[in-house]
Structure 1
């Protein structure tokens, strides 16, 4: 039987602090023998306003939150390796909105899967 872990925490507006919190959850899950850790939507941050939400959005390639997760996963001993599912914000091309993105990171910290939620009220169905 494979063990999966669910990590729950209250995200703040600090990507760096949330990254440290998630790193602790990764260590806890790995030490418990989990092979995967599922984290909440918007794990990278919860902002105080829509404007702050947009301002804090970082591409995953430069996000300090994602970098922290990647470094933590890469640093786990071989017998404690696990994979992570995490929800984050990503900026749109013109930075006027954010995309709600679910990422899957393998045990080497590589992003191998990505899903962006589609809100039906934003879609024109014909």
Structure 2
């Protein structure tokens, strides 16, 4: 049996680096660990942390192809963050003019959750603990 410790990071390729950098740092509140520009690839690599733990790699590449990204599309479904108070999260996001789906309730756990989209329309879930 394979012995995994934890998820190390999630890698995201964005179409507009500055817009995505602002979203992930100023809206979601992730902190920058390091930012590197790789001249040979014409690409930025931004390492981001949540509560001091490395979690997201944000990449820019010239002209990346579009990808279907709705939660029900094939492939990775979404990126989910646990939150303590979903109503506060939704209020904050709406104050930043970010559309939130209606709050739903997980039929198995009874917990509330909602989705937003990042600047490239990638689905992000907020799940109340």
Q: What's the TM-score bracket when you normalise by the shorter of the two chains?
A: under 0.3
Q: Decide which structure has greater strand share.
A: 2
Structure 1 length-normalised TM: 0.24
